[in-house]
Structure 1
Amino acid sequence: MNPEEVSLPGPPASGRAGWTFLTNHGHVLLAVASDPEIRVADIAGRVGITTRAALQILKDLESGGYLRRTRVGRRTFYTIEPHQHFRHPTEAAREIDGLIRLFSDPAPQER
């Protein structure tokens, strides 16, 4: 298995290879949004990727203007840059803030 793929519980319903609606970039962004003091190793563990992949994604997000990196001593902190737009032309009119809000709201409770 590719270390950047996350295995989901249970077999895919279609019998085809598993996929998700959010990319690893989206999951990393949401991890930083949920905990600005999160460590890179914890991001990698949460997303299901290697630390090296997490660092590359953080670099991509920083160079794309979606987050800002700040060093304080030996620690690195990431801050989400608000009001940035999605990259794909279909969603380019929307800001990432909506995605972050969607996933920061408590999950609906099962009935």
Structure 2
Amino acid sequence: MGSNAASGWTMFSNHAHVLICLVEDPTRTLREVAARVGITERAVQRIVSDLEEAEIVARQRVGRRNEYKLFLDKPLRHPLESHRTMAEVVALITQR
């Protein structure tokens, strides 16, 4: 059996990966998030916009940078997971 990288998929979406990066450091630049997740900066911008639209993330300008405020009390969006919150998933992964 091959590694996960060889199979081309991971258990969590890029949306989850971006959110986890922002939980770890809400002052990270989108370029830093993109490098950590392994996607383009433009893809991260779209994901952050999705998360803002869903009111999970709020962008706040601090000097020349953005800082992100997170609202993790929201339930997960899929019906199979809607009984859990974003905070529960993030806590599982980040140990927070």
Q: TM-score, normalised by structure 2?
A: 0.89
Alpha-carbon distance in 1 for matches of 2:50, 2:67 = 15
Amino acid at match of 1:76: N
Given candidates 25, 34, 40, the residue that maps to 1:50 is: 40
Partner of 1:49, secondary structure, is coil
Alpha-carbon distance in 1 for matches of 2:82, 2:2 = 30
Given candidates 68, 72, 78, the residue that maps to 1:88 is: 78
Where in structure 2 are the equivalents of 1:2-21 lying within 5 Å? 12=2, 17-21=7-11
Match of 1:23 in 2: 13
Unaligned residue ranges in structure 1 (runs of 5+): 1-10, 107-111
Runs of 4+ aligned structure 1 residues displaced above 4 Å come to none
Residues 18-69 of structure 1: CA distance to partner in whole angstroms, max 9, x if unpaired?
2110000000000000111111100000000000000110000110111111
Partner of 1:82, secondary structure, is coil
Query: Following TM superposition, by how much is the alpha carbon of 1:105 offset from its aligned partner in structure 2, in angstroms?
Result: 1.6
> Matched residues, percent identical?
37
CA contact (8 A) 1:12 1:18 kept: no
Matched residues, number: 95
Amino acid at match of 1:87: R
Alpha-carbon distance in 2 for matches of 1:28, 1:101 = 15
**RMSD over equivalenced CA pairs, Å:** 2.0
Amino acid at match of 1:43: V
Given candidates 81, 86, 89, the residue that maps to 1:99 is: 89
CA contact (8 A) 1:69 1:77 kept: yes
Unaligned residue ranges in structure 2 (runs of 5+): none
Larger CA Rg, structure 1 vs 2 = 1
Alpha-carbon distance in 2 for matches of 1:91, 1:66 = 16
